[in-house]
Amino acid sequence: MNERLIPLEREVANFYEPWMLWVFLVALALLAVVRIQFPTYAQLVHWNFSNYRIARQAYAENEPLIHPSWLLMMPVTILGFGLFTQLALHSVDGACAGLSPVMFLRICAILVIGLLLRLLAVDLIHTLAGKTTVLRIYLGNVLILNQSVGVLLLVLALVMAVSYGGADLPVVVAGLVLFGLAYMLRLIRGVLAAINERISLNYIILYLCALEFLPLAVMVKAWMLTRTGCA
On whether residue 6 sits in a domain, the answer given is no
Give me the mean pLDDT over the 171-190 stretch. 88
Whether 11 is covered by a domain: the verdict is no
pLDDT at 201 over 80: no
Average pLDDT over residues 2-25: 67
Nearest residue to 167 via CA among 183, 181, 156: 156
Residue 1 domain flag: no
Averaged pLDDT for residues 122-140: 72
Q: Is residue 181 part of a domain?
A: yes
Judged against a pLDDT cut of 90, whether residue 155 lies above it is answered with yes
Q: What is the mean pLDDT of residues 127-147?
A: 78
Residue 20 pLDDT exceeds 50: yes
Is position 97 within any domain?
Answer: yes
Write down how long the chain is: 231
**Amino acid at site 195:** I
pLDDT at residue 98 in the model? 67
Listed in sequence order, the residues at least 6 apart from 199 whose beta carbon sits closer than 8 Å to its beta carbon are: 129, 131, 134, 207
Over residues 174-188, mean pLDDT: 89
* d(C-alpha 84, C-alpha 153), whole Å: 6
Instruction: State percent of the chain over pLDDT 90.
Output: 23
| 104 domain-assigned | yes
Residue 17 binned pLDDT confidence (cut-offs 50, 70, 90): confident
Q: Which of 176, 142, 141 is nearest to 156 (CA)?
A: 176
Q: Looking at the predicted structure, is the pLDDT value of residue 9 above 50?
A: no
Is 158's pLDDT higher than 70? Answer: yes
pLDDT of residue 76: 94
Residue 143 identity: L
Domain, as residue range, for 143: 20-226
More confident site: 30 or 12: 30
The highest-confidence range among 20-24, 63-67, 169-173, by mean pLDDT, is 20-24
What is the value of pTM for the model shown? 0.82
CB 223 within 8 A of CB 198: no
Q: Indicate the number of domains in the chain.
A: 1
pLDDT over threshold 60, residue 11: no
CB within 8 A of 47, min separation 6: which ones? 54, 55, 58
Residues 3 and 17: their CA atoms lie apart, in Å, by 34
With a CB cutoff of 8 Å and minimum separation 6, the contacts of 66 are 139, 143
Instruction: Give the pLDDT confidence score for residue 171 in this predicted structure.
Output: 87
Tell me if 102 is assigned to some domain: yes
Model pLDDT, residue 227: 59
**Per-residue pLDDT tens over the stretch 79-115:** 999 999 888 888 876 655 567 888 899 889 988 988 8
Q: Is residue 46 domain-resident?
A: yes
